[in-house]
Amino acid sequence: QQQVKQSPQSLIVQKGGISIINCAYENTAFDYFPWYQQFPGKGPALLIAIRPDVSEKKEGRFTISFNKSAKQFSLHIMDSQPGDSATYFCAAVYNFNKFYFGSGTKLNVKP
Amino acid sequence: DTGVSQDPRHKITKRGQNVTFRCDPISEHNRLYWYRQTLGQGPEFLTYFQNEAQLEKSRLLSDRFSAERPKGSFSTLEIQRTEQGDSAMYLCASSSDRGQETQYFGPGTRLLVL
């Protein structure tokens, strides 16, 4: 059973547009929700993360929106740039070390 | 560069051969994780060490897989009698147990079993 469901599988956005990636989870024991960015041939790199007691967190052009009652969270990339083209993974964590990753979203930002 | 290194970066082997991968975590991190990632999927947890103790193993980790972290620093992942289905990216990550959940990933070892 997949613990974290991520959508869409792929996303094409024009430069300057907003990219939105969504994730949903079932287990209410999760207490940390990071997003990772992965470029081809590289390992995932932490982008931004949020705890469930906060509804939104913003770091530069990246924002996480968190809806605890709906058990959903999303990543918004404002003013998307071609350099943002990568695969993005959401994850849900509990007990500080049990990470469950979504299946990934391949983002292509067209110039 | 996150500070987590993995070696080798690529490995091609024939079915039935044994392979061993190495991971060097960030020096002050006492937690070390191994994941497997196949094309188009997120990382799947394989096993986890706290210092030198292997605290958890996924059911994905068959008895052909073994991992060690003998001195609580670097770790090795060995796959015996490799199968074509073992072809994947093997990722190592490390973290600190001082209230920081963030895992820092290495670049991975891409394994191809022919």
- Contact between A36 and B97 using a beta-carbon 8 Å cutoff: no
Residue type, A7: S
In chain A, residues with a C-beta closer than 8 Å to the C-beta of B108 are 42-43
Across B24-28, B87-91, B110-114, least confident range: B24-28
Q: What is chain A's pLDDT, residue by residue, as a tens digit (111 residues)?
A: 678 999 999 999 999 999 999 999 998 899 899 999 999 888 999 999 999 899 999 999 999 999 999 999 999 999 999 999 999 999 998 877 788 999 999 999 999
Which is nearest to A24 in space by CA: A77, A91, A87, A106? Answer: A91
Q: Distance between CA atoms of B85 and B110, rounded to whole angstroms?
A: 13
Does the beta carbon of A37 lie under 8 angstroms from any beta carbon of chain B? no
Q: Distance between CA atoms of A63 and A97, rounded to whole angstroms?
A: 23
Q: Distance between CA atoms of B106 and B108, rounded to whole angstroms?
A: 5
**Per-residue pLDDT at A98:** 82
- Contact between A97 and B48 using a beta-carbon 8 Å cutoff: yes
**Per-residue pLDDT at B101:** 67
List all residues of chain A from 48 to 67 with a beta carbon under 8 Å from chain B.
49
**Per-residue pLDDT at A35:** 96
In chain A, residues with a C-beta closer than 8 Å to the C-beta of B40 are 103-104
Contact B33, B103 (CB under 8 A): yes
Rounded to the nearest angstrom, the minimum Cα separation between B86 and chain A is 18
- Contact between B102 and A97 using a beta-carbon 8 Å cutoff: no
Does the beta carbon of A41 lie under 8 angstroms from any beta carbon of chain B? yes
